[in-house]
Every structure is written in C-alpha cells, then in structure tokens.
Structure 1
Amino acid sequence: MDAAPVQTINLEVASESPLDFSSILPNPAITEDTRIIINNKGRLAFASTPHIPVRMLCASLGFNPAAGGFPDHSTADRYALQLRRHGYNCARFHFLDASLMFNRTKDFDYDPDVLDRVRYLMHALKENGIYWIIDGMTSERGAYGGYDDRWANVGDLRLRTHLENEAFGHWLRFQVDIFCTQNPYTGLVPFEDPALAVVVPFNENSLGFLSQVAFDQGGPVFQSLLQVPFNDWLLVKYGTTGALQTAWSWELQPNEQLENKTVALPANRYVMTARLRDLALFFVDTEVQTAAKMTDCLRAMGCRAVIAPYNNWPGVQTALSRQGQDAVTMNTYHDWIGDLSGQDSLQQTSSLTDNLAYMRLAASTRWAHRPFILTEYEHLFWNHFRYESGLALPAYAALQNWDILCRHGEGPIILAYGEDYPRKKSILPYTFALDPVAREGEMLAALLFRRGDVSGSTASVVTEMQTASSLVSGGGIDTREPDQVTILSLLTAIGQGSAPHQSGDVVIPSQRPFTTNADAVQFLRQNGILDATNPTDANAGVYVSDTKQLHLNSIDGILKVVTSQTEAIAFSGISNPVTLDALTINYATAGGLFAVSSLDGQSIANSRRLLIIYATDAQNTGMTFTDATEKTVTSYGALPVIIRVDHIGISLPYTDTWQISPVMLDGTVLAPITSGSGAMAAEIWTNTPTNGPTTYFLIERLQN
C-alpha cells in the first residue's frame, strides 16, 4: 500500500490540546458519594445521584512483562493522567495473578515489586477519577508457583474451581492476599474502596466455554474431571440407575451405573440428547452454586462492588446461569486470533457486511433492566476493516444503554513509540495502543459513548428467557439466539427477561414468533417501536435505529451516525456523495472512518472548534504476508508504524471564515493546511506535508 511512516514519537497528549478530553469529560473525585451503585432502573450510577446513569469508558490493563509490565511510580502518574486526558473513567486489571507470579517458584510468593507497582497504579488511577474493574483471577495457573506459561490457555484451575475445594480455596486465598489487604497508597482495602466498580470473580470461566477450549486443543469432547461430579448430580436428581434409564430411554448403556459413577459424559456437544441436556443443566446448577459461593466470600470480605461472573459464552445454558446475577459481563470479537504462534491468519472480513454479528452476539446476552458491561471487545489488527469498530461498538453500546465499554488489549495507550520490549516493537493483535487506527476509535468512543453523543433507546424489547427445555433443540449445548432475534439490537434496546416483566416492556415470547429478519422488523413496527417514517428494510440490508441516529447499510458496507455533536461514517467505499446532516462526504480514495465532533459543547452547525477523525489503515514497516489477500502474516515487521496515504473530500455549509489544521498524535496543532470563507469544500489527506501522517485534524471557525 502507498503509506508514510509515523514521525510522532511522543504520544503523551498535551494539556488543553484538541485531544485532551479531560475538560469536556471531567472525572469527579472518587468518594463514598461517587461510589458506583446499581440504581432502581438497573443502571450504574453514583451513590449520591442514583437517578443519573453513568457511562464508563474502560481502559484494559493487561500489563504483560513482554510489554513492559506494570509501570513504576512516576510512570504510573503519567499514565493515569494520560488515561484521564483520553477520556477514560474506568480501568480493568487483567491477568494480575500472572504478573504477580511471573518467574515465581513457590505458591503465593508474589513478586513484591510488582505488587507495589499494582497498588500504586490503583492509587494513581483513583487520584485521576478512574474506577477499577478487577478479575479475581485470570490465569489457569493462578498463584501456583513454577509455571512459565501463565498467559496461555494451559491448565484447569478455572474448571477445578467449580469442582474441588482445594482449587476454590486457592482462588479464595488470592482474593484475601491481594484485594482484602490494605493498600498503603490508598489507605483502604481494595474490596472496600469506592474506586472498585466491578469484580469479575474469574475471567472467562463458563463451563461450556472451558469444555470447548479443551476440545479445540485436542482433548475429549468434555473433560474427564466432569464425570464424577456429573454422576453425583444425576444421583441426586434421579436417585437410581433405573430412574435414569427411564428418563434417558435407550441412551443409557448396560455398563453405565450411577451407583459406581460410570455414567459417561456425552460424546457429541452438538447433537442434543437427554444426556447432553442433563449435562447442560448440571453446568447451570454448578455455575449458579459456584457464583453464589464466590459472591458470598467477596461480600464477607467487604466488597460492595458489582459482582458479575461468567463474562463470556452467549448460549442459553450460560444465560440460565446468569439469571440471578445483578449484572452481566460479556466479551466479543470480530475476526478473532487465538495466539501469535507464527503464520497467524484472519479472515479479512468487514463487520458491517455481516450486520455486526459480534455486537449482536453480545447484545443477546444482556438481562433486561440490569447493568451490562462489555469487559472485552476488539476488531483485531491487521484486519483492513478495523476502523469500523471505532464507530460501530460505541454507537450501538450507547443505543443499547450498556454501562461500561472496554476495548481489549494489553493497554489502550503508550507514552511513546520505541520502548524496548518485545510486544512494543510493532503493532500486534491485542496491542492496539500502537495502532493509530484503533486509537482514533477509542477517542471517538469517548465522545459517542461516554459523552453521550449517541442517545440510548427509550424502548425495552425483552426476549422471554428460554427454559431448560430449549436445550433439547438447536445447536446442542451451545444453543444461542438466532439472527432473527439478535438483529433487533441494530434497531432498539434489547435484553433477556422472565416473568413478571416491567411495565412498558415489549415481550418476545419464548417460542420466537418470527423466522426472518424482515419478520423481526415487522414485529417492531407492529409494536410501535419503529415509526412509519423509519426506512429500515431488512431485505435491502438497511437498519435504522429507533432513535434515527444510526443507519447501517450492510450490503454497501456503510454505517452512518448522525447526532447533534458528532456526524460520522464508516465505509468500504464512496461511489457517490453521501450527506449525513451538515457533513457531506463527496469522495474518498479508499475505505475508512471519517467523523466530525464538536469540542465546545455546541452542535455541529454552531460549534467553533471541531475535531476531525480520519482513519483508513496502518501496518508495521516490513510487514509481510503469504499472498495479496493479507490473510496470513509471515512477518509482523517493526516500527515505525506506517499509515496508508488516502484522501477524502468533504463539505460543510458554513457562512463564516474557517481553517483546518492537522493535529498530531500527541495533540500538537500544526499550521493550517487549508482555509476559506463561506461554504467549506476541503480535501483532507492522512499525510501532512512535513510532519508525517496523522488521524486527527482541527476545524476552527473564526469570527468575521
């Protein structure tokens, strides 16, 4: 591709620059008055103002030692300040156990320097008004000593925590040691600190997911550790082998006896049988009991944060497990990559042309009238369409009234290019801090989602929760909502629920009444959620939200977002001029994301200072692939990052004098590249004449 190297090395955003959002998105001091609670509408809010929902933009902090690990005190202060300037008001501590136990040979022998750095970073974040989400544990190796594969999917602690007292006790001891011990820098126990917003007791530990991972790694369909507990559960349910034989009919073999625990696990996870149905119900009971035990322990230690177990896996089985929880957490990905083992491949597909399946998947897991927290999402590097996620996920998260949005990576920002760590020498999947395309998406997310430029739907469509009997059909143990249900999330706010429902809910019965996307759209029209002027046409791939702010054309691969303070478009190509409201895109040389956002609280039409975000694609210098499709990488290359050189023609109906200036990645504003008076017609290039490429520009309207 025709590209230019990024010349900006320092990435610390300057105070009061156009990229410093700390004044337009102020973080209040964290006190008991601003402790995060769940209000009576099922939204997160401050304790002192429970009637006002709080949207939280979360920074994912998975400080792998290969990326430099946790920062020292002075760097932590700079880092936390930068997170505040970037618009974050929340941060997630991920793989904390792995960092604390890296290179440790004895159980619970935490690295004292890392522990000190973690505690100081918590303090620095709190001082900047940034709340915490913590994983109670993340790694399969937990706090066991002697392992060098703590970031890999190797081990079985997540499974054993459900089944064995020793493993549960291991999890519990870690909670006591790390989160129930006073932090000398805050003076408080983390579990009691008002800065703690959410606890995920153990990351991605749902039983259905763990069994799938083990199977994908060459193991049995279901882990052998499950057999004895499953037999114990069957014995409680049925009492005798004879009763089980009657219930299962021909499925039970002569050599299978409950009394000696020889009833086998299912041999197929996709063909639903009575055996598989009971295993799914065993999973539900086990997960409910484990979540309750973990929650009871955390509450006994003084934890007042939102506790939300099982932050992945979207099926009916896991939904039943979450039914009694106060909140739901979820992870979702487009064009996912599991590891970086070499010859890594992705599909190079657009998320818009599959109707944002990864967003819809997450939306289908929410329980209505409860907080929803997206602890992980990503449209992964080096997918050419990843600019889409910076517009799509924050816009639809806002429409859905989700509470916390967290793009997943080892860290969302870096302070400078060129740090001498293996995972900071080039952009890699999950290192989006180095990727200008992903970074601009996070800046836009701060405005669309946290600032509230995109409005939440006032409707409430509730899909009646399917019962355990639903597990006997569909996709086996992983049965999930079909597209004809999840497609509704492109149009209005949805969630699962069970009777009694709240007043105003539009309920979709458990026997879903439609079989096509067009049927689903008609259901919304019949129930008054989409009015007669809404141009949604499922057969044409057009989906317009009930707020009229979001407009997806999945056939053309275009998403438009039009609000008072932001107008934006993600597109795979522009063949004819596209007018949003004030903004018109006249042409573009390649696909990308273009947005104009007010920086002074005024509408686009009246704002005197507007930020342009323009992103297309970026790679590492010397990055190579097996062929021209760039699906399989052979070398990730190295810094400097190169940004594709593209340009776009825009128009705005101004009547006064204006100028457009490049804004470098650290917020530095360069001399204007174009100016004029009256209606604006401008051409914007991703490359500047002298300072290299950028993804930001500033429009200033001057007094005549």
Structure 2
Amino acid sequence: MRRRSLAAALLCTWLAPATSASEWVPVREVSLEVRAGSPLDFSSLLPNASIDADSRLVAGPDGRLAFARAPEQPVRMLCASLAWSPASGGFPDHDGAERYARQLAMHGYNIARLHFVDASLMFGRQKDFDFDPETLDRIHYLLAALKRNGIYWIIDGLSSPRGAYGGHDDRWDANGDLKLRLHLDEDAVAHWSKLQEKFLASVNPYTGTATIRDDALALVILANENGIEFDSVVHERPERPAYDEALAKPFNRWLSARYGSTETLARAWGDLGADERVETATVRLPANRYADGPRMRDLQAFFVETERASAARMSEVLRGLGYRGLISTYNNWPTVQTALSRRDLGAVTMNTYHDWVGGYSPGSALTQVSSLADGANYMRMIAAARWLGKPFIVSEYDHLFWNRYRYEAGLTMPAYAALQGWDVLCRHGHGPIALAYGEPFPHKKAMLPYAIALDPVARAGETLGALVFRRGDVATSAITIPFAVRGEEDLGEDMQAREPERLTDLALVGRLGLLPADRFDGETGITQPRDRDAGTILAALRDEHMLAAENRTDIASGFYESDTGQVLLDRRAGQLRVSTPATEAAAFSSLREPIDLGLMRIGRADGNGLVALSAIDPEGKLSESRRLLLILATDAQNTGMIFRDSEEKVIEDFGALPVRIRKGYVDLELSRTAARWSVSPVGLDGTVYPPVDSGSGRVAFRLSNDTPYGPTTYFLVEM
C-alpha cells in the first residue's frame, strides 16, 4: 500500500461534498470493445467506404474536403488522435492493430492523426535515423489496417523537437531546438527532409505503396506547433532571454534589407539604442515579448516572412517525393501574425483547449470553470483563424480532465464545428479508445489529462460527436461573415493580437473566417481597424434578410441562436441546446426550469451534465425512429483522487482504476406515444441490458445512470 504524508491525508478532508463515496459508482466493465451490432456500433450507420484513387480526399471548389470522385460534395471527417508513447502502450502488435482499427470504424471514425511518430521510431535509439524496426513494422501494419477499415491518415512530418537525432531520452518533452532551426538552418531542413524520405517515402510492405503516395494520406502537418513565437514561449525560462539568440542575425539581415540604414530604422522605431546599428548587425531582439512597440511589430513581420518561406521550402520537399495531398503547418495560436503565416497553405490546421493543464505532476492545476460561461471561447478563437476557401482541420482540441464541466465538449465542439462547416474534428488524446481497462502502462492506470480513452464522459461526447458532426445532424450555417485581411499592415505592436473577442461572438450565429481584402465586398464583413461591433453586424444581417427577424440572439444578455435555429447558447444560464430532426441535446451547468428541445423535454436533474437523444435507425429522425440512443453524462473520477483544495483545482494524486461515475438522474418526457416503450441500459461495451423502465402511451420516465448492471452513460429507448 502506497504511503501518504499526513498533509496529503488531511487533504482528503477538503474535498467538495460531491466527492463523497456515496456520490460515485465504480465502472464494472473491463473490456471496452464495442459489440458488433450493438447500439454503439456505428459501422452501418456511418459506413466507411474503401479508399482508392477515386475516394482520395481533395479540396473541393468551395474549399471544403471532398472525395476526388465528387469534389462538389463536402465530407465531414471525425478524427482519431493516435499520440502513443511507451507510457501509453505504444503502437499495437498486428492483432491489436486489427482490433483497434476495426473498433475505430465501429465508433464512427473515418480519419486518424498519427502524432509523435518520429519519437516512437527513435525511442531508445542512439544513432540518427536508426528507426526501431519493430516499431516501424507496427506503424506500417497499423496504417494498412486503418486503410482496410476506410480510415484516412493525417501524419505529422515532425512532432518531437528531437526529430530523428539519436541519443535522446526526452523525445516527448519540449527540449530540443529543431523546430526553431527549421526556419533558420539548412542542416535542420536537410535533417527534416531525410526524415520524410526515410519514413513517408519508404514503401509500406503491408500496402505495397510508399506512404507519401498512398491515397489514404490526406494531410501532412509539416511540423506540429512550430511557429517561431510559440516555440520561443515553450522554451522561455527566467534565466534566458525572451528570444533565442539564433534569431538575431537573420532579424538583422531582414532589417537591413527593409530599412537600409540605422537612421531610417531609428526614424521608424524611435527607441533604437545608441549601440544598435543596422550596418553592424547589432540591433537587438525585444527583451520582453509582452512589451508592445515598433520593434515587436517588425519582429512579427520578420516571423511572417520567415515562416511562409520555410513552409514553402518544406512543402517543395514533399512534392518532390511525390506527395499530392494537402499540406499544413503552424497549427496553433490564433494571432494575426500566425494567420498571415498560414495564408498560403493548402489547408489550415488549428489546436485549441479549454482549461489547459500543464502536466501530470502533483500541483498541476486547472481553473475548474465552464466553457459555456465564456461563450465557448476556445472554439471561437480558432473559428476566426480559419481562411475561407481552404479546408479547416481541428488537429487537436479538448476540454480537459479533471474539469467537472467537460461533458460540454461533446456537444459544444461537434455542434459548432458543424455549424462552421469545418472539415475535420480531432479530440486530442493518447488514443480516442482503449480496448480494455487495466492495461499495464503508466498512462493507462488512471484517467489523465490528454487521455480521453478511459474517460466515460469524454467517450460519451465522442459518441455524440459522431452523430452531431460526422453524420451531419447539425447543419452548416448559410451565413458567412468574413474578416478582411490586408496583409502585413494588419500587424500591430502586440504579439498576442488576434481577432477581437467581441466579434468572435458571431461564430455562435454563423460561419467566420479570414478573407483577403481584395476579395472582400465589405457588405457584412469587418474592415481593419475593427470599427464595427457584433450587434451592428447582426443588425445588418437582419436588414439584408440573411438572418431571420425572429432569430433570438441578444448579445447583451449572452443569448446566441445559430442562423439555422438548431444551436442555442445561453451564457448566463450555462446551457447549450441543440435541436435537429435527428438529435436533441442539452449541456447544462444549471437547470432552474425545464428545457424543451422539441421532441424531448428535460424536466428536472439533480446536477449538471449532458443529455442527448439521437435516432439510430436508418430513417434518422427522432419522430420516426424506433431505436433511440440516449446519453446521460455527468462526471467521472479515478478512485482515490486527492486534491489540494476544496474546489478541486489543484491535483495532489490522480488515484487509480476503477473509474467512478458520479451518480445523476434526469426526468425526461418525449412527445411521442407508443403501444409499448422501454428504456434499457447500454454498457460501455455496447451490451444491452434488460429494461429499467417501460410503459405504454406517453413516454415519460426518470433516468438514473446508477443502474442494476453498473453505472453507464448510454441507454437504448425502443418503441
């Protein structure tokens, strides 16, 4: 038995009342493999077709992802994040890969992102490019298994800042400077190029084709999160300067080319030091990244030119190796500067998180706040980073464990991704599913941040996401609100500047995106400087009959209704509602009065959570389907979790399995009658248990997730 200090033991007494043992019920399932034909098997509902040249993913004429055979018909891709490391079990053997790929298809995934492949290939290796042969074989086999199950691939050209250099044991950490050097150093570019040649351009023995030429490879992210500014923040330490000295000479060359002389630069900046001269390349980098000024503005302009050039150079390498698919990079930070760096890319990729957690060590903290309270800002900020006319891929997102409101993510991101018309949605984790609880790996012994597979709440959200987003239950907005972009003149003196939050509220009503100013008609868009507010724009949309007069959006009261009428967010009440013919759902932090969604009415609940009802018959309509999947997600924790505070913001010990689900109930009523209806618990593995409620005529019942067969998030309603 593990010893705990007296102080740690005393922390147990500080836990919030909701964490008392009677409120939590341990999960009974061990196997998590979904049973074929069960209500959780979406392989017939959302079938994956075979992948060949005709079904290769391309950018259609409107900039949406589509199959090559039908470029005018957009397709939505639900993405499985495969970010394995030895701590999470690594890449599976052949039998495991077959089972895993089949399970992904059954869960509704049709694309997968392989992240940190370079780190896995080089784990424990001492020589450059000396890939571990067993790992390489397992990766190749998994790619083939995914393809056989109709699952496309997104692959990072580089994830680890250690690249394929030998002799490092910290490949998953932020150490190493390769991402920065890719912008500055020909040797670094040569190293990256050789990595692509040795992995992507090598023939996969299980497909018979080089990965880079395979029709299943839809997108290459040149390097994950490799913007210069972000990389400098990652490596920032109190004892180090804000910016790496390796940037000084290139920046001075850029200043020389732009200004020509110290005198000209001094007139532009006004704060040039007496010892700084363009002619001797002694102009200093900003000492403080958060100090606004013309020096910072020019540094951002330098970053834009440098990043666009390096992306073009690396893209040329891939094209030279025979790659025909989409290319992206700079997949985080929705700033004006990074938006300009992404302007020439074939696709835009973005990462975003609510309540970010910095690590797994004791003392790691989050804010324990709802994403609905800030109007889903983590969604809105990337909505305004999208370039219209290009595929948009959410390469990472999450509302992180142990935040008690994370049930919101399963409705918020899929619903708004659908409304925005985004192409790929990828909730980040070591893997989106696990085949079983209790695998003997450090990151599989308990629920952790960035590890959604073991979390029943996150898994329920992904199940709902397959329907709301991939199936298309929520429609794409008919309104597009462009943010006009001129170019470098849009850069300000603040390196953190991005599209104003007061304007990104519009993403809760219609589609947002960036558009070059020369393609901008100015009717409903926003010119720079940002001289219009969201209310003015909404009024213009109503005047032009682009937004219905009866649309209930009221920014002052924090009430937002999508132009489709299907999605409604109430910031003050902490509620998000979705009402479509195929799915009705609500995420709520409070329930002061009943919620009427159309067919389903939520009358009462004993706590916060997510309730969703979806048709799963081929008819696809709640009003007609005889089989409805009902989701009730509350919260889940590990057994023995300890926090340092009563609000459960600071972790002391993550505890261990079994996972425990917080008890909860809701009173539900459906505006349908049936000669006979029943409600049956569905296990996390898809097993359908005997009904816990039934009746005839009016369909109304109290639903509890604490069933005689163990706690669950799923139920089957049959009529």
Fold shared per TM-score above 0.5: yes
Q: What SS does the aligned partner of 2:416 have?
A: helix
Q: What SS does the aligned partner of 1:281 have?
A: helix
Distance 1:218 1:694, change over 3 A: farther
Distance 1:79 1:504, change over 3 A: farther
Q: Alpha-carbon deviation of 1:508? A: 1.8
User: Among 134, 144, 164, which residue is 1:123 paired with?
Assistant: 144
Q: What SS does the aligned partner of 2:204 have?
A: coil
User: Among 648, 658, 680, which residue is 1:661 paired with?
Assistant: 680
CA contact (8 A) 2:599 2:672 kept: no
CA contact (8 A) 1:462 1:505 kept: no
Query: Aligned residue for 1:200?
Result: 221
Q: Alpha-carbon deviation of 1:465? A: 1.2
Q: Matches of 2:277 and 2:671 in 1, distance apart? A: 79
Q: Deviations over 1:473-507 (max 9, x none)?
A: 5xx11211111221110000010001333789842
Q: Alpha-carbon deviation of 1:528? A: 3.1
Query: Aligned residue for 1:292?
Result: 312
Q: Matches of 2:548 and 2:457 in 1, distance apart? A: 36
Q: Deviations over 1:14-48 (max 9, x none)?
A: 11100000001000100000000111111110000
| One-letter code aligned to 2:218 | A
Q: Matches of 2:353 and 2:237 in 1, distance apart? A: 18
Q: Matches of 2:418 and 2:620 in 1, distance apart? A: 20
Q: Matches of 2:349 and 2:239 in 1, distance apart? A: 28
Distance 1:275 1:411, change over 3 A: same
1:542 to 2:583 alignment: no
CA contact (8 A) 2:484 2:520 kept: no
Query: Aligned residue for 2:154?
Result: 133
Q: Matches of 1:110 and 1:261 in 2, distance apart? A: 41
Between stretches 483-492 and 556-565, larger displacement belongs to 483-492
Query: Aligned residue for 1:103?
Result: 124
Query: Aligned residue for 1:143?
Result: 164
Q: Deviations over 1:545-593 (max 9, x none)?
A: 0000000000000000000000000001212111110100010001000
CA contact (8 A) 1:316 1:466 kept: no
Q: Deviations over 1:193-237 (max 9, x none)?
A: 000011100000011211222226753222211111101111121
| One-letter code aligned to 1:262 | T
Q: Matches of 1:461 and 1:274 in 2, distance apart? A: 31
CA contact (8 A) 2:524 2:537 kept: no
Q: Matches of 2:696 and 2:265 in 1, distance apart? A: 82
1:49 to 2:70 alignment: yes
Q: What SS does the aligned partner of 1:264 have?
A: coil
Q: Alpha-carbon deviation of 1:466? A: 4.9
1:528 to 2:545 alignment: yes
Distance 1:86 1:504, change over 3 A: farther
Distance 1:529 1:420, change over 3 A: same
Between stretches 410-419 and 238-247, larger displacement belongs to 238-247
Query: Aligned residue for 1:401?
Result: 421
CA contact (8 A) 2:641 2:655 kept: yes
RMSD: 1.4
How many residues get paired? 696
1:514 to 2:495 alignment: no
Q: Alpha-carbon deviation of 1:523? A: 4.1
Query: Aligned residue for 1:411?
Result: 431
Q: Matches of 1:524 and 1:4 in 2, distance apart? A: 50
| One-letter code aligned to 1:613 | I
Q: Alpha-carbon deviation of 1:520? A: 4.5
Q: What SS does the aligned partner of 1:417 have?
A: coil
CA contact (8 A) 2:526 2:532 kept: no
CA contact (8 A) 1:485 1:520 kept: no
Q: Matches of 1:218 and 1:531 in 2, distance apart? A: 57
| One-letter code aligned to 2:359 | D
Q: Deviations over 1:413-435 (max 9, x none)?
A: 00000111110000000111000
Between stretches 205-214 and 377-386, larger displacement belongs to 205-214
User: Among 557, 573, 584, which residue is 2:574 paired with?
Assistant: 557
Q: What SS does the aligned partner of 1:518 have?
A: helix
Query: Aligned residue for 1:677?
Result: 696
Distance 1:344 1:189, change over 3 A: same
Q: Deviations over 1:244-274 (max 9, x none)?
A: 23332x3211211223321100123233322
Query: What is the 5 A alignment of 1:106-255?
Result: 106-215=127-236, 219-248=240-269, 250-255=270-275
Query: Aligned residue for 2:609?
Result: 592
Q: Deviations over 1:431-464 (max 9, x none)?
A: 1100000000000000000000000012211110
Q: Percent of aligned positions with the same letter in both sequences?
A: 52
Q: Deviations over 1:143-200 (max 9, x none)?
A: 1111111111111110011000111111111000000111000011111100001110
Query: Aligned residue for 1:647?
Result: 665
CA contact (8 A) 1:569 1:593 kept: yes
Q: Matches of 2:298 and 2:66 in 1, distance apart? A: 39
Query: Aligned residue for 2:362?
Result: 342
Q: Alpha-carbon deviation of 1:514? A: 2.4
1:490 to 2:511 alignment: no
Query: Where has structure 1 moved over 4 Å in runs of 4 or more?
Result: 502-505
Q: Matches of 1:246 and 1:483 in 2, distance apart? A: 33
Q: Matches of 2:340 and 2:541 in 1, distance apart? A: 26
Query: What is the 5 A alignment of 1:683-694?
Result: 683-689=702-708, 691-694=709-712
1:74 to 2:95 alignment: yes
Gaps of 5+ in 2: 1-18
User: Among 21, 35, 46, which residue is 1:14 paired with?
Assistant: 35
Distance 1:218 1:559, change over 3 A: farther
Q: Alpha-carbon deviation of 1:527? A: 4.1
Q: Deviations over 1:27-74 (max 9, x none)?
A: 010000000011111111000011110100000001111111000001
Q: Matches of 1:576 and 1:315 in 2, distance apart? A: 40
Query: Aligned residue for 2:641?
Result: 623
Between stretches 546-555 and 526-535, larger displacement belongs to 526-535
Q: Matches of 1:198 and 1:177 in 2, distance apart? A: 18
User: Among 585, 588, 596, which residue is 1:571 paired with?
Assistant: 588
Q: Matches of 2:437 and 2:67 in 1, distance apart? A: 37
Q: Alpha-carbon deviation of 1:352? A: 0.2
| One-letter code aligned to 1:18 | P
Q: Matches of 1:146 and 1:436 in 2, distance apart? A: 38
Q: What SS does the aligned partner of 2:613 have?
A: strand
Q: Matches of 1:565 and 1:339 in 2, distance apart? A: 39
Q: Matches of 1:472 and 1:36 in 2, distance apart? A: 37
User: Among 274, 284, 290, which residue is 2:294 paired with?
Assistant: 274
| One-letter code aligned to 1:578 | I
Distance 1:645 1:198, change over 3 A: same
CA contact (8 A) 1:653 1:678 kept: no
| One-letter code aligned to 2:635 | D
Q: Matches of 1:52 and 1:530 in 2, distance apart? A: 25
CA contact (8 A) 1:208 1:313 kept: no
CA contact (8 A) 1:459 1:505 kept: no
User: Among 95, 112, 117, which residue is 1:91 paired with?
Assistant: 112
CA contact (8 A) 2:524 2:540 kept: no
CA contact (8 A) 1:208 1:478 kept: no
Q: Matches of 1:526 and 1:538 in 2, distance apart? A: 17
Q: Matches of 1:566 and 1:533 in 2, distance apart? A: 23
1:62 to 2:83 alignment: yes
| One-letter code aligned to 2:589 | S
Query: Aligned residue for 2:620?
Result: 602
TM-score by length of 1: 0.97
Query: What is the 5 A alignment of 1:331-370?
Result: 331-370=351-390
